[in-house]
Amino acid sequence: MSIDLEHIRSRSPIEEVVNEKFGLKKQGSRFVSIEHDSLVVTPRTGFYFWNSKGEHGDVFDFVGRYHFGYGSGWNNRDANQFIEVVKFLAQRAGITIEVDSTFRRSHSWAERQLVARLHDALLKHTPALEYAAKARGWQLPTIRMARLGYMPADKRSLLADLNLSDTWRKVIQNFPTEMLVYIHLDQGRLVYLSGRSIAAKRHYNPPREVIGERQPYFNPLYLEDVEQVVVVEGQADAITFAEWGIAAVGLCGMSLSEDLLTRLKQHRRVFVALDNVPETAEKARMLCQSIGVSAHIPRFPSEVKDANEWLVKANATPEQAMSLLNLATPWLEAEVQRVGNLMGLAREDAIRDLFQYAIQLDEFGMANFKSQMAKIGIKARMFNDLFKAAQHVQPNGSTQEEGMPEILSDDVPLLSPALGFHREVAMLTVTIIERTKNNRLNTQPYLVTSTRELRRLSEQQIIQLNGQEVALRTLPDACEFLMRWRYRDVQRFLNGETVEPGPVFNAVHDVFTRYVDFRSPVESRILTLWVIGTYFYTMFPAYPYLALNGPKNSGKSTVLRVAQPLAFNMVNTSDPTGPSMFRLIHTTSCTVGIDEAERYHNPRDPGMQQIRQLLNSGYKAGMPAIRLMGDDMKPQAFDVYSPKILAAIAGLEDILASRCIAIPMRRTDRKMQAFPADFDAAAIRHQLYSLALTEFSHVHRNYFERPDLHRLHNRSGELWSPLVALAAFFEERGTVVGLLQAISDAAEWDEQVSEGKALSDREEAVLQALEIMTRGQSETVWLKAGVVREEVARLLGQPSEKFGDAQWIGHILKRLHLLDDGRRKRTPEGMTYAVQPAEVRDMMRRYDVAPIENRMR
């Protein structure tokens, strides 16, 4: 089993670890030591730099040098030293590491080593280092901070002994040699590589079919929460701004993607500093128009083309760079000046657009805008009239009263935004806290898509995804309940991070087996697949419930507690109310855990009737619950299809049990770890979200296009097919050996039991108990349910109190056709059943159940 170094890194923010040894203070997007001002930490890249010592590294390097005292003797390629650090950080973060685990098998370790080797190659190759230092003007601390690399002619040393993914191996193999390599990092994780020749003006980006779309280059000072950021054309200009201590983003030949635009809009000021040539002026204006009122336009000196040329030719200083930004013209002001030179209809249209942007301004910005507009003849009364009109105009230019609704085409899929799948597109909703310009907090729903986009949800329910229209079934509310995917983890996914299916399965499985004592290994695997399947369930036409049956203290509630932080949007309750649960499932597609589920058998309780309706309808898509809402009792349909776990001491009624996969629970005789109240499953959820959005097509194919996998039919096939499809996926793409066969066997046995072709252990024990208690009799024998329960417990070798009350005895007798309404009666001592000895012996013969010899009542 490999160690998830990325998980350990994410739980060990470098600024926190360094601060434990050397007090830090924040300066812009960096942290600087209070005592040693040359010690700098950049959370964006996950690295620290001690410039006076010529030392740098990530959180593992810092701990090795300063927590373990290796100092200059630290070698991050020494396995013994490195595993010490890994264990220290894991323990600090509350992460358990298996004894036989190894970091060397993890992709994150391999990528970390690849970055280090590329950087070492630059430092050791004099022509490349001189190009960076002299031709580009970057000092050595900046080169180290940016983790610049070099692609040598002989690549064997780069790849030796590294367990890199096939994608990164292809990238390295295809990468031209003798190139400066730009390392695109996000939170210390490698997401992209690009290059620039040191001999000629030639740039390189890996083929799209190998690594995907081009990625922007965030310089090492960029953070999501910095107030201002500079947008430049390429990596060299972005690194140049790092030389001046300023956060910057290089577009790298990209158009402004929606994800990048969303990120840029979070900053208070965005400076668009493209190349200082006439042909980029219009591009810069369009970029500013997309960004909006936070955009500013700085002007480089006329004799230089871009930031890097300014550094090299004029030896521009950080103070000059800051002055450049300080004197930048707000884009809206520049746009007003441009509009002032227009005439006729062009001027009218441009003024209309200006007022659309003005709506976004705060009071100070509005006062300045009003002053600028007065200079082009739009004065007080006219300004107020135009502004009022703009507030009633939609972004497309039409008024609110214009336009008739259109009928939604059947070609537009209607999906749940909480968790939706359609052909080549998947999406889910997360809640993110925004910081407004007035320093208020706003809780806002966002869509995260399989195309690695982050889409801010507005009032529109029909949106474009991957080139096609998609209709959102509901507009999700912004609530803390949906804040289960940390924003920094979302960013890792958006920046191209991938997950391996096998480790994801093992991570979930290990949590369950650590805290729950299962009767057999297959039951823990079923539960693991089921929990992972909650992140895919809307893809399937039906998804089984799980029934946890067992006596008190058998682990049922523990399973619910462990599953809650792992399963998709899961909520646990022992007392749900119908209306609130209908709405919650309808809007969030949440997984529901219900304890003490036998309470819902009571036909006299109207509240329980609502929950029974929810449970009977909610295992299958397209079976909404209809409720009468409001004073006018208007019928409303609620989609209550979602995964549900039901925990009960007694068995469930037949209709509900037929929708369940049963997992019998038992009291443990082992010393199990107590499940911690503050258990943090954020890292595992991140892997599950990423898995669903990247691998959904493989699971879809297994379910819908591989009939050879699905050997069951009717209700059993409907219940087990999702788990079979997932088992095949994890065995074939995650190398979880034997999983498919184990799940298929369990499914076939469950089908035989449900169709009466085989009996469960408890059912066999009931027949054997009845045979013992009626042995030697030929006439009807009246037996008390409690007495039968005692005999069944004895035959199974378990205390009778583990079986709860005796209500389940009647369910089994009825299913075995040994009971009808005329053969039971209620007494003060409980239910009593009339049993025919001949029928018992006949049923045992039919099911090949052997009698217990030498035992007479």
Domain end position, chosen among 200, 228, 259: 200
Residue 246 in contact with residue 223, Cβ under 8 Å?
no
- Residues 34-46: tens digit of each pLDDT: 888 889 888 877 8
pLDDT band, residue 605 (cuts 50/70/90): low
Q: How far, in Å, CA of 52 to CA of 48, rounded?
A: 12
Amino acid at 215: Q
Q: Which two tokens mark 24?
A: 């830090």
SS3 652: coil
Do 342 and 439 reside in the same domain of the chain? no
822 or 15, which is more confident?
15
243 or 402, which is more confident?
243
Q: How far, in Å, CA of 597 to CA of 550, rounded?
A: 12
CATH number at residue 837: 1.10.10
Q: How far, in Å, CA of 390 to CA of 375, rounded?
A: 20
CATH number at residue 286: 3.40.1360.10
Do 370 and 283 reside in the same domain of the chain? yes
Measured in whole angstroms, the distance separating CA 366 from the mean position of its chain's CA atoms is: 39
Q: How far, in Å, CA of 269 to CA of 290, rounded?
A: 14
Q: Let me know how long the chain is.
A: 857
Domain assignment present for residue 477? The answer is: yes
Domain end position, chosen among 736, 753, 770: 753
Do 179 and 57 reside in the same domain of the chain? yes
Residue 830: Cβ within 10 Å count: 15
Residue 424 in contact with residue 447, Cβ under 8 Å?
no
594 Rama sector, left if φ>0, alpha if ψ -120 to 50, beta otherwise: beta
Q: Nearest CA to 652 among 669, 664, 667?
A: 664
Mean pLDDT score, 98-120: 75
Domain assignment present for residue 211? The answer is: no
Domain assignment present for residue 490? The answer is: no
Position 301 scores a pLDDT of 94
Domain assignment present for residue 461? The answer is: yes
3-class secondary structure per residue, 752-768: HHHCCCCCCHHHHHHHH
What is the β-pairing status of strands 571-573 and 592-594? parallel
Position 703 scores a pLDDT of 93
CATH number at residue 128: 3.90.580.10
Do 506 and 530 reside in the same domain of the chain? yes
Determine the angle formed by the axes of helices 556-563 and 501-515, rounding to 10 degrees: 140
Q: Nearest CA to 415 among 688, 696, 634?
A: 696
Position 575 scores a pLDDT of 64
Q: How far, in Å, CA of 374 to CA of 396, rounded?
A: 26
What is the β-pairing status of strands 248-250 and 228-232? parallel
Do 652 and 685 reside in the same domain of the chain? yes
Do 564 and 419 reside in the same domain of the chain? no
Mean pLDDT score, 6-29: 86
458 or 276, which is more confident?
276
Domain end position, chosen among 170, 200, 230: 200
The residue to which tokens 């329910």 are assigned: 461
Q: How far, in Å, CA of 304 to CA of 313, rounded?
A: 8
Do 184 and 263 reside in the same domain of the chain? no
DSSP state string for 797-855: TS-GGGG-STHHHHHHHHHTT---GGGEEEETTEEEEEE-HHHHHHHHHHTTPPPPSS-
Question: How buried is 627 (Cβ within 10 angstroms: 0-12 exposed, 13-18 middle, 19+ buried)?
Answer: middle
Position 440 scores a pLDDT of 86
Residues in Cβ contact with 663 at an 8 Å cutoff, skipping those fewer than 6 apart: 518, 523, 526, 527, 546, 547, 548, 549, 559
Question: String of b and e for 445-460 (b: at least 16 CB within 10 Å)?
Answer: bbbbbbbbbbbebeee
Q: Is the dihedral of CA 219, 224, 230, 233 positive or negative?
A: positive
- Residues 475-504: tens digit of each pLDDT: 877 777 678 999 999 998 988 888 999 999
Q: What angle do CA 649, 619, 430 make, to 5 degrees?
A: 105
Q: How far, in Å, CA of 43 to CA of 348, rounded?
A: 47
Residue 385 in contact with residue 321, Cβ under 8 Å?
no
Residue 610 has pLDDT above 80, yes or no: no
pLDDT band, residue 1 (cuts 50/70/90): very low
Least trusted range by pLDDT, from 328-342, 586-600, 754-768: 754-768
Residue 240 in contact with residue 265, Cβ under 8 Å?
no
Domain assignment present for residue 170? The answer is: yes
Domain assignment present for residue 706? The answer is: yes
Least trusted range by pLDDT, from 141-145, 689-693, 847-851: 847-851
Q: Domain of 295?
A: 218-390
pLDDT band, residue 630 (cuts 50/70/90): low
Do 152 and 95 reside in the same domain of the chain? yes
Mean pLDDT score, 452-462: 86
Mean pLDDT score, 455-460: 84
3-class secondary structure per residue, 74-88: CCCCCHHHHHHHHHH
Do 193 and 235 reside in the same domain of the chain? no
Residue 128 has pLDDT above 60, yes or no: yes
Q: How far, in Å, CA of 529 to CA of 684, rounded?
A: 14
What is the C-alpha radius of gyration for the chain, rounded to an integer number of angstroms?
A: 33
Domain assignment present for residue 404? The answer is: no
Largest CA distance in the chain: 112
Do 420 and 289 reside in the same domain of the chain? no
pLDDT band, residue 757 (cuts 50/70/90): low
Domain assignment present for residue 788? The answer is: yes
Do 519 and 581 reside in the same domain of the chain? yes
pLDDT band, residue 402 (cuts 50/70/90): very low
SS3 712: coil
Residue 573 in contact with residue 644, Cβ under 8 Å?
no
Do 721 and 774 reside in the same domain of the chain? no
Q: Nearest CA to 614 among 605, 602, 627, 604?
A: 627
Question: What phi and psi values does residue 529 have, to the nearest 5 degrees?
Answer: -60, -40
Tell me how many domains the chain contains.
Answer: 5
- Residues 509-542: tens digit of each pLDDT: 999 999 998 878 899 999 999 999 999 999 999 9
Position 755 scores a pLDDT of 58
Q: Is the dihedral of CA 204, 207, 210, 211 positive or negative?
A: positive
558 Rama sector, left if φ>0, alpha if ψ -120 to 50, beta otherwise: alpha
What is the rounded average pLDDT for all residues in the chain? Answer: 85
Q: Is the dihedral of CA 378, 381, 386, 390 positive or negative?
A: positive
- Residues 647-691: tens digit of each pLDDT: 887 666 666 777 888 887 877 777 888 888 888 899 999 999 999
Q: Nearest CA to 182 among 157, 205, 208, 165?
A: 205
Residue 715 has pLDDT above 60, yes or no: yes
- Residues 635-647: tens digit of each pLDDT: 777 788 999 998 8
Mean pLDDT score, 346-354: 83
Position 328 scores a pLDDT of 94
